[in-house]
Amino acid sequence: MSPVTRQRPSRLRELRRAAPFVLPFLLLFVVVYLVPAGYSVVQSFFAVKRSGLGLGGAETVFAGLGNYVRIFQDADFIAALGRVGFIGVVQVPVMLGIALVLALLLDSSVSRGRRFFRIAYFVPYGLPGVIAALVWSFLYAPTLSPITGFFASIGVDLSFVTDGALPFSIANILTWAWTGYNTILIFAALQAIPEETMEAAALDGCSGWKAALLIKVPLIRPALLLTLVFSIIGTAQLYNEPVTMKAVAPNLSSTYTPIMAAVRSLSANDFNYAAAQSVVLGALICVLSVLVFRASARSVT
Amino acid sequence: MLNRNARLTAAAAIAATGLALTGCSGTTGASTSGPVSLTFWGWAAGYEKSVALWNESHPGIQVKYEAITDGGAGGYDKMFTAAKAGTAPCLAQIGYETFASFLAAGLLQDVSEHAAPRRAEFPDWVWGNVGIDGKIFGVPVDTAPMGLFYRSDLFKSAKIEAPKTWEEFRTAAAAVKAADPKSRIMNLPTDPYLYAGFAWQGDAPWFGVSGDAWTVSMNSAANSKVAGYWQGLFDEDLVTSYPAFDAALYTAWNSGEVWAEVGPVWSASLIRDNAAGSAGKWAVAPMPRWDTADSVGNSGGSATAVMKGCANPKEATEFALWMSTDDKSVSNLIKSAAILPASASGLANPALDAPESYYGGQAIYQLFRAESAKVNPNWRWGPVMSTTASALGDGLGKVPAKSATFQDALNGAQTGTVSALQAQGFSVGK
């Protein structure tokens, strides 16, 4: 008991000392994140009621779970969730796999030109997402693409924008844009591994790829987990790439991803439904992130 | 010390957000003394100058113009959001296609008493786009009747006459393909709003009002006829199927692989700006007709709407009427935005008689001036157009890949629209 009571005042003092550093962030976090999120949740329980032609204006009424019931009957929205789910399942492991291999290569003592590659990997991340998507759109456009043109000249009919090819074309843009970012995150974690650890491993006869896989990878678990969660969140929020690609792929539907569907509801002046769609997406991401963290914690013990 | 600092930081942050919040709120209103002040949101080129011209000559009513993003690119979303937050402007540029959506959302103000006395200064069909049941909620600025843009050089050398009916158009389409197997007469209209112009002309309205309920008729027999026509041209491989507004289409216009475009008046600038290489070789003819029905479609055009909550609707209407009819204002709008004015006085503007060098010296706006009187009067836009248009666009986008037909697209849009209307509480009638 006594140590606890003795600790209390010092903790309070610590908090006080930390306050000026934490408060600005906390305030911004509350104002630009928690408040709008809370507002969306509140909005999602209401609905706008019009009558007749709608000329009389609208009144907002409490709708209970009405908007959520609508979501479960909304085939377009459910299809959108399925689509980003599929893209995530295919793309995230591929991207993180590549990122891990590149980071291990960068970290290995035999690698040359480390600085050059570190920057080179990072360049795609520096390009604004929309610009990257525009350039890729050009490479995918059936009539303009030099790639399609090349394959056509050797008699292969190739299209990147058929219904079946679209998820992979989008996944490719994501991989191109984000692999470097994840490489750097993983590389930073690798750099933090104490030299003695690797020396000890080497003394025990574990070196090269074996050491990398058996010693380094388990040690950077937290970083890998972080990149995994970031990637899941990023994929769930897919928007820029498909919207930009719509110009060259009219078969890409206007509710291709959950956020596109929510934006469409917003444009239809259906704010409350858009709020419910956003809340469902947010909740799914939350649950998914928690599950990933938990599953990994369990497998450690 | 630390405590005070923390409080200061907090106070500063709160002050900053407070500033940001007040910065968002627009002024809708009137001041009791001094000149009346009106806020006007728009995006079209030339509006700002027309407002400046008004402000010079009307010291008692000052309009504050705020340029926003193009409506379809987010401007309308901004207006909806502002109206919800109570910070909507007094006046707003709203395209006819979206006008009914604002109307049905209850965001516009009935200004019939101020505008009705000048009803005769505009063609009747235009008023149907800015009101309902004879009531008026805004003032038309411009219209976009459709016409046939074609490569007169290629048509001439292949000895094909500019088609006057859709029957002749089909024959011409086959003749173009016969003359040059690599070429087609036109690109398939898969953009929902462009396609709407063809339905509009074909006396195949999508929406109607029956008593106190909306009716949706995108799957009507008349619509199937128009849809079937384009599906037929596509199935017979007589048209190209590039995405709408795509660089590939512009290249094809330029190189003479696509010989014509049936499009609204603003296609004139679209073709001129994107197919500069074929300057002087294009000409314009009236839109092909359905048999003997002398009516054309319209695809575009916008109005100056008076939004709900505007404290000075009379002055707002007065300004809007002035902008659409005053000689100086209309001349400015024609010059900077190449609009086709909606008002009779605007249509009389001599600037429309100028020959266009890109079109071989043809005075193309004279033709559109005459055609604007022949726009089919039975068309009405619907109350959830963004949903209708994206549902239709999703369907039409699948036509080139042959995974859907025009009819499928219309059926999908019909279902999507009706369910969106019902979800938002509108009455939907038969």
- Condensed to tens digits (0 to 9), the pLDDT of residues B338-369 reads 899 999 999 999 999 999 999 999 999 999 99
Residue where the block lists tokens 């006829």: B225
Q: How far is A27 from chain B (nearest CA, A)?
A: 7
- Note the pLDDT tens digit of each residue in B400-415: 999 999 999 999 999 9
Residue of higher predicted confidence among B30 and B121: B121
What residues of A are in contact with residue B98 (Cβ under 8 Å)? none
Q: What is the pLDDT of residue A107?
A: 86
Q: What are phi and psi of A150, to 5 degrees?
A: -60, -45
pLDDT of residue A122: 82
Alpha carbons within 13 A on the beta-carbon side of A57 = 11
Query: Which residues lie closer than 8 Å to A214 by C-beta, 6 or more apart?
Result: A206
Do you know the residue count of chain A? 301
Query: Tokens 């930009």 map to which residue?
Result: A244
* A50 close contact with B: CB closer than 8 A: yes
ipTM at complex level: 0.80
End-to-end CA distance of chain A: 30
B contacts of A77 (beta carbons < 8 Å): none
- pTM for the model: 0.85
* Best residue of B70, B137, B386 to probe chain A, by most A CBs closer than 10 Å: B386
Quick one: residue B401, left, alpha or beta (phi over 0 = left, psi -120 to 50 = alpha)?
Answer: alpha
Helix (H/G/I), strand (E/B), else coil: A171: helix
Please tell me the distance from the alpha carbon of residue B246 to that of residue B274, in angstroms, as a whole number. 10
Per-residue pLDDT, A269 = 83
Cα separation, B95 vs B193, whole angstroms: 11
Q: What is the DSSP letter of A204?
A: T
Q: How far apart are CA A83 and CA B325, in angstroms?
A: 51
| Whether the Cβ atoms of residue A30 and residue A38 lie closer than 8 Å to each other | no
Q: Which two tokens stand for residue B345?
A: 């006085």
Within an 8 Å CB–CB cutoff, is residue B4 touching chain A? no
Does A301 touch chain B if contact means CB atoms closer than 8 Å? no
Tell whether A19 lies on the interface with B, counting CB pairs under 8 A. Answer: yes
Exposed/middle/buried for residue B72 (C-beta within 10 Å: 0-12, 13-18, 19+)? middle
| CA-closest candidate to residue A67, choices A43, A50, A44, A38 | A44
CA atoms within 13 A on the CB side of B416: 26
CB A298 within 8 A of CB A225: no
- The rounded distance, in Å, linking the Cα atoms of B198 and B213 is 25
CA–CA separation, B196 vs B206, rounded Å? 9
* Residue scoring higher pLDDT (A242 or B72): A242
Contact across the interface for A267 and B242, Cβ inside 8 Å: no
Structural tokens at position B191? 């953009």
Q: Tokens representing B362?
A: 């043809």
Mean pLDDT of chain B: 91
Q: Does B10 sit within 8 Å of A254, measured CB to CB?
A: no
The answer to whether residues A174 and A167 touch, using CB atoms and an 8 Å cutoff, is no
